[in-house]
């Protein structure tokens, strides 16, 4: 048995009992993937995840790749290679590629349901196998350019790897400050020059070629290449040159080399690289040649297709790790005998499993509630993407309903990523590991690796602070609150519905929590208006907004998770009225318990967050930096 413990039962409960995906699967454009097929895919991927993929999780962490600066290589451990090959041989990676280039048209909700299994069992496998997903981005943004469409197809045919290349050593998250540049050649290619950092999967011995998606600033072309993110374009830069018709490698090395591999606290088996482009002192001194994607200078918009996929991935990875952390902790709590029952504390009282102790039960139910609520959050966000997919493939991209669905999906992304990663990281360390006591600090159990691996999720694809600012400034203010208002209306409708009487008190708490969250939004909007000098405001009031953006992210996450847990509880209570098996009865009772526990212990805290948000002043900004 490997380390990984999955929960396909809960995944299917969300897909088919809560979100009614059975009404979508098997219909256009997903005719080949009906509900039965989807369940078969989940079952087979569960077997693969718990077996071949999980098998190398520990070994590849203990024996991470070693960078050779002479050959610029960093081969992975043999066990990881076997796991990777098992994943590629399964063919399920085709779910992530567009049908036009050899993939399978897959609803987003099923895609991210399957992703949880891979990311929970061995996230490095997913990170090295992003070629098919990124090839779909290339195909989507090719703009009819046959060359780029063919490159995307070749990447799928030959199972190439791919990377997203944004960050630079001196720019960090300020992507617009990047200095990597591109100069055109007479043959239509471009020479890329510069250094990028923190590039995931930029080197391994798992694929014959890797296509880097590189943001760079054009030079020598009128009207493009200016300052900031708008001056960036997206280029396709292969590790090895290849024939554009057949995909066969020519044997010539392109001038793009990994020049360092980072030493990290977690996900050690995933190469995180410094990549140098077109340096005459590196490698063979060749220029790093690439192609402008789609022959348009629109790089940051194109790259956001990659970034949005990556943010969903990071949130799913975080939640998947918390899920297996919780299930491992639960098993330990059932078997670890220590101490007497508090209700029978006599000296000769029998020792009991720690699951019988009150605080252990509180901890486990807290983990269960967050895991199952955040899993629902991921899949709920994906249902909005399902709507967008259906509309896009039906040629209804410009319909108002499609735009609204896309806006709601966009609003949920920073919450999935930011809230999911923060809550998962904290709970893994404070609850899952704590369940083991001192044993959790040892390598004897997988939880210590889970904790180390999970921390990166709060940093990947923008820190939590960046997610909070994106949520407020881009997804609420720029959208004029339309998407947020829609979600608030749905939650309020649930609060005032004629639902099960058993949930009446919980619905009232949800209504109060929603009102408190909306008050925080209103406070932030007022502070934003007060920062506009043209309206008589003081520009530094914008600092008050920024001091509350992370708070808002976490508060909205709590409200959404509470709502989704209560939706699950409503379904569960209805199922409990039927004749069901003992296993199903316990499953549904657990759903009701998790929902009511979460609402009662989490939502009342939002009132405090509201008070704190209202009291935020500029004291922290006025403090002399020497006083820190």
d(CA 138, CA 212): 11
Within a 10 A sphere around the Cβ of 250, how many other Cβ atoms?
Answer: 10
Tokens (6 digits) for 386: 């399902």
Give kind and range of the element (H or E) at residue 424: helix 420-427
- CA-based nearest residue to 204, from 178, 239, 231, 174: 239
Burial of residue 258 (number of CB atoms within 10 Å: 0-12, 13-18, 19+):
buried
Residue 359, phi then psi, degrees to nearest 5 = -70, -30
Q: Are 68 and 272 in contact (CB under 8 A)?
A: no
d(CA 282, CA 279): 5
d(CA 172, CA 58): 30
d(CA 392, CA 399): 10
What are the CA-CA distances from residue 430 to residues 163, 325, 329, 435, 523 (Å)?
A: 33, 12, 12, 9, 32
| Alpha-carbon 456 to chain mean position | 11
Q: Are 292 and 216 in contact (CB under 8 A)?
A: no
For 195, the 3-state DSSP assignment is strand
Beta bridge partners of 249: 242
Q: Are 41 and 403 in contact (CB under 8 A)?
A: no
Beta bridge partners of 273: 199, 261
Tokens (6 digits) for 316: 């799913």
Beta bridge partners of 196: 275
Residue 492, phi then psi, degrees to nearest 5 = -65, -35
Tokens (6 digits) for 249: 């490698």
- CA-based nearest residue to 422, from 467, 381, 362: 467
Q: How many CA atoms lie within 13 A of 327 on its CB side?
A: 16
Q: Go through the chain and tell me how many residues it has.
A: 628
Beta bridge partners of 274: 260
Q: Are 380 and 412 in contact (CB under 8 A)?
A: yes
Q: Are 566 and 573 in contact (CB under 8 A)?
A: no
Whether 31 is a known active-site residue: answer no
For 374, the 3-state DSSP assignment is helix
Give buried/exposed letters for 525-538 (b at 16+ CB in 10 A, else e).
Answer: eebbebbeeeeeee
- CA-based nearest residue to 597, from 366, 412, 331, 313: 366
Catalytic residue among 461, 502, 508, 518: 461
Q: Which residues are catalytic?
A: 461
């Amino acid at each position: 048995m490997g380390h990984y413990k999955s929960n396909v039962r809960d995944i299917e409960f969300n897909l088919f009992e809560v979100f009614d995906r059975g009404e979508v699967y098997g219909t256009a454009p997903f005719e080949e993937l009906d509900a039965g097929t989807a369940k078969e895919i989940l079952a087979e991927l569960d077997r693969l995840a718990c077996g071949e993929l999980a098998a190398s999780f520990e070994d590849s962490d203990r024996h991470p790749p070693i960078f050779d600066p002479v050959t610029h290589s960093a081969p992975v451990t043999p066990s990881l290679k076997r796991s990777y090959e098992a994943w590629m041989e399964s063919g399920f990676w085709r779910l992530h590629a567009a049908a036009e280039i050899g993939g399978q048209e897959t609803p987003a909700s099923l895609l991210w349901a399957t992703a949880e299994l891979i990311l929970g069992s061995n996230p490095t496998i997913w990170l090295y196998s992003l070629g098919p997903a990124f090839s779909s981005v290339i195909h989507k943004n090719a703009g009819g350019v046959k060359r780029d469409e063919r490159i995307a197809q070749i990447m799928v045919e030959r199972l190439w790897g791919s990377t997203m290349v944004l960050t630079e050593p001196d720019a960090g998250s300020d992507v617009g400050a990047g200095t990597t540049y591109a100069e055109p050649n007479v043959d239509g290619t471009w020479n890329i020059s510069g250094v990028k950092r923190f590039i995931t999967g930029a080197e391994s011995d798992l694929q014959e070629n890797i296509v880097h998606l590189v943001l760079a600033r054009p030079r020598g072309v009128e009207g493009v290449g200016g300052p900031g993110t708008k001056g960036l374009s997206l280029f396709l830069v292969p590790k090895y040159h290849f024939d554009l018709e057949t995909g066969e490698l020519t044997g010539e090395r392109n001038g793009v080399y990994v020049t360092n591999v980072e030493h990290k606290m977690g996900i050690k088996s995933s190469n995180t690289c410094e990549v140098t482009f077109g340096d005459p002192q590196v490698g063979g001194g060749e220029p790093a040649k690439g192609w402008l994607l789609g022959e348009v200078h629109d790089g940051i918009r194109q790259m956001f297709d990659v970034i949005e996929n990556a943010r969903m991935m990071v949130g799913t990875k975080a939640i998947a790790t918390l899920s297996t952390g919780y299930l491992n902790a639960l098993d330990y709590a059932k078997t670890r005998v220590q101490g007497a029952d508090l209700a029978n504390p006599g000296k000769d009282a029998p020792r009991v499993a720690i699951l019988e102790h009150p605080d252990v039960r509180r901890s486990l139910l807290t983990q269960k509630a967050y895991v199952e609520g955040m899993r629902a959050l991921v899949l709920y966000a994906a249902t909005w993407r399902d709507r967008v997919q259906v509309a896009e493939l039906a040629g209804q991209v410009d319909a108002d309903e499609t735009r609204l669905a896309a806006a709601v999906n966009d609003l949920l992304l920073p919450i999935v990523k930011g809230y999911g990663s923060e809550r998962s990281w904290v709970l893994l360390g404070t609850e899952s590991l704590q369940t083991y006591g001192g044993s959790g600090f040892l390598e004897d159990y997988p939880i210590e690796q889970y904790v180390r691996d999970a921390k990166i999720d709060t940093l990947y694809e923008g820190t939590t602070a960046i997610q909070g600012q994106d949520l407020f400034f881009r997804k609420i203010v720029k959208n004029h609150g339309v998407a947020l208002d829609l979600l608030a209306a749905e939650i309020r409708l649930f609060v005032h519905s004629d639902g099960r009487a058993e949930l009446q008190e919980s619905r009232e708490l949800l209504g109060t929590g929603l009102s408190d969250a909306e008050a925080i939004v209103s406070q932030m909007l007022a502070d934003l208006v007060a920062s506009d000098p043209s309206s008589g405001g003081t520009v530094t009031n914008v600092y008050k907004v920024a001091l509350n953006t992370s708070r808002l992210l976490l508060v909205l996450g709590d409200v959404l998770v509470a709502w989704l847990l209560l939706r699950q509880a409503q379904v569960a209570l209805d199922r409990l009225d039927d004749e069901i098996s003992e296993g199903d009865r316990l499953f549904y009772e657990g759903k009701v318990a998790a929902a009511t526990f979460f609402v009662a212990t989490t939502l009342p805290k939002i009132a405090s967050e509201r008070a704190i948000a209202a009291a935020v002043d500029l004291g922290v900004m006025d403090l002399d930096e020497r006083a820190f």
